[in-house]
Amino acid sequence: MSMDRRDFVRTSAAGLAAAATPTAGLAAAATPAALAAERRPPRASSRFGAPAVRRSPAALPVVVSDLSGIRFNNGGPESSVERAFRGIVEGEDVLDALIAGVNIPENDPTEMGIGYGGLPNADGVVQLDACCMHGPRRWAGGVAALEGVRTPSLVAKAVAELTDHHLLVGAGAQAFARQLGFEIEDDLNTEASRALWLEWRRRIDPGHWLDPRKRLEAGLSMVDDGLIPAHSFWGTTNCNAVNADGDICGVTTTSGLSWKIPGRTGDSPILGAGLYVDNDVGAVGSTGRGEANLYNLSSFLAVEFMRQGMSPLDAGMAALERIRSNTVESRLLNARGLPNFDVRFFLLDKQGETAGVAMYGTAETRYAVCTENGPEERPFEGLLEGSPRDA
């Protein structure tokens, strides 16, 4: 979808804004529901003007993920979304089930966008990021630039459970993991990931390797030549779920942008950027260009759109439109004046409605969902037509 969808999102957003005006509030005051609402004590957040959230007594259990959540099983019988859904319906804590799910692709050496065998940074070192959020408990944890641990999602959960912090990074995150008994490996590269790094080094201009255009061109040329899947080049898996009680959790884990500057941290471990969960509303996670989500706090933004009444689909589209309108640097625009990168969102609300949206939805066209009917791939809804690299 292109301009029509964007126009629809703008119209919907304008309508929601109008509904929040004093005039609209007076019109609604005559209804029985509104009168009952007036008699209830105000919520703590009412001074911020946030509309009340419509609640359902029960939700449809569902897991939503990117394709890593369904196409990689590390030689076992279940994919990430299958393992997570099974755990949820068997009574596991939602976050425990999700992390057990993403541990499968994190440990799979053939999934080169996360965990063991993830594509390394410019120095050939695998540095991993992860974040998790627990809706009912209102806590979160993350790690960034963590070396030597295949499952950073588990370390992120330990940060949330055992410390007073939300984020540990680098050597400190590794020391924390070591103290908890996590195995620290000298090198998380596989033969394949190291060979691809050497090929990137061959293609990059040593005198201009810090130039973002040169770095991107060298990496994308390897995608064009079929050496790296597009989803692995950008890295990341996100997995979110809601159980029958309406409890919502989410987790995002990644090896980050391939060949990144050492120490670079993208959106994945940052609350509100690569992941956001509100147990009263829903969850949103993302893959793609992390810097775009960092600038726009896109996952938080999409959850807030859902809080205002948007469906997961329209909330995701509105967040993509915000990214599009804020992308103005010439190096980030294609010949059509549109973003030359892709961003994808995986959304669900408290009732179990899901959506997968993408800036383009052409390089990676499908996402994963698991319900009582089993796992399935569904098509992305794209904001823009064509490809990020269209001339």
**Is residue 25 one of the residues assigned to a domain?**
no
What does the block give as tokens for 178?
Answer: 């070591």
**Is residue 391 one of the residues assigned to a domain?**
no
Domain of residue 118, CATH code: 3.60.20.30
Q: Per-10-residue mean pLDDT for the chain, 391 residues long?
A: 46 43 34 34 39 56 97 97 98 98 98 96 97 98 98 98 98 98 98 96 80 80 88 87 98 95 96 98 97 97 98 98 97 94 97 97 92 98 92 60
Cα-Cα end-to-end distance for the chain: 19
Q: How far apart are CA 292 and CA 234, in angstroms?
A: 13
Q: Which residues does residue 128 pair with via DSSP β-bridges, in sequence order?
A: 146
Q: How far apart are CA 87 and CA 243, in angstroms?
A: 10
Domain that holds residue 197: 60-382
| Inter-residue contact 354 to 61 (CB < 8 Å) | no
- Looking only at the bridges linking them, the beta strands covering 167-169 and 139-146 are parallel
Q: How far apart are CA 174 and CA 144, in angstroms?
A: 10
| Inter-residue contact 115 to 151 (CB < 8 Å) | yes
pLDDT of 7 reads 52
**Is residue 26 one of the residues assigned to a domain?**
no
**Is residue 77 one of the residues assigned to a domain?**
yes
pLDDT of 166 reads 97
| Inter-residue contact 95 to 259 (CB < 8 Å) | no
Write the secondary structure of 21-38 as one string of H (helix), E (strand) and C (coil). CHHHHHHHCCCHHHHHHH
pLDDT of 391 reads 60
What does the block give as tokens for 16?
Answer: 């929601």
pLDDT of 213 reads 76
Report the 10 Å Cβ neighbour count for 341.
22
How many distinct helices (H) and strands (E) make up the chain? 14, 13
Spell out where the chain has E strands.
62-65, 128-134, 139-146, 167-169, 237-242, 248-254, 275-278, 282-288, 343-349, 354-358, 366-371, 374-379, 381-382
pLDDT of 34 reads 38
Number of residues that this document lists for the chain: 391
> Out of 151, 236, 237, 327, which one is annotated catalytic?
236
**Is residue 29 one of the residues assigned to a domain?**
no
pLDDT of 23 reads 35
Residue type, 374: G
What does the block give as tokens for 35?
Answer: 């009168």
DSSP 262: T
Q: Is the dihedral of CA 383, 386, 390, 391 positive or negative?
A: negative
Strand order in the sheet with 128-134: 167-169, 139-146, 128-134, 248-254, 237-242, 62-65, 366-371, 374-379
pLDDT of 390 reads 80
pLDDT of 30 reads 36
| Tally of structural domains, the chain | 1
pLDDT of 72 reads 96
Helix (H, G, I), strand (E, B) or coil at 153: helix
**Is residue 168 one of the residues assigned to a domain?**
yes
**Is residue 294 one of the residues assigned to a domain?**
yes
| Inter-residue contact 199 to 191 (CB < 8 Å) | no
Model confidence, pTM: 0.85
Q: How far apart are CA 79 and CA 70, in angstroms?
A: 5
pLDDT of 59 reads 83
**Is residue 298 one of the residues assigned to a domain?**
yes
Environment class of residue 252 by beta-carbon count within 10 Å: exposed (0-12), middle (13-18) or buried (19+)? buried
Is 236 assigned a catalytic role?
Answer: yes
Tell the residue number behind the tokens 């994963």, with chain if given: 368
Q: Which residues does residue 366 pair with via DSSP β-bridges, in sequence order?
A: 379
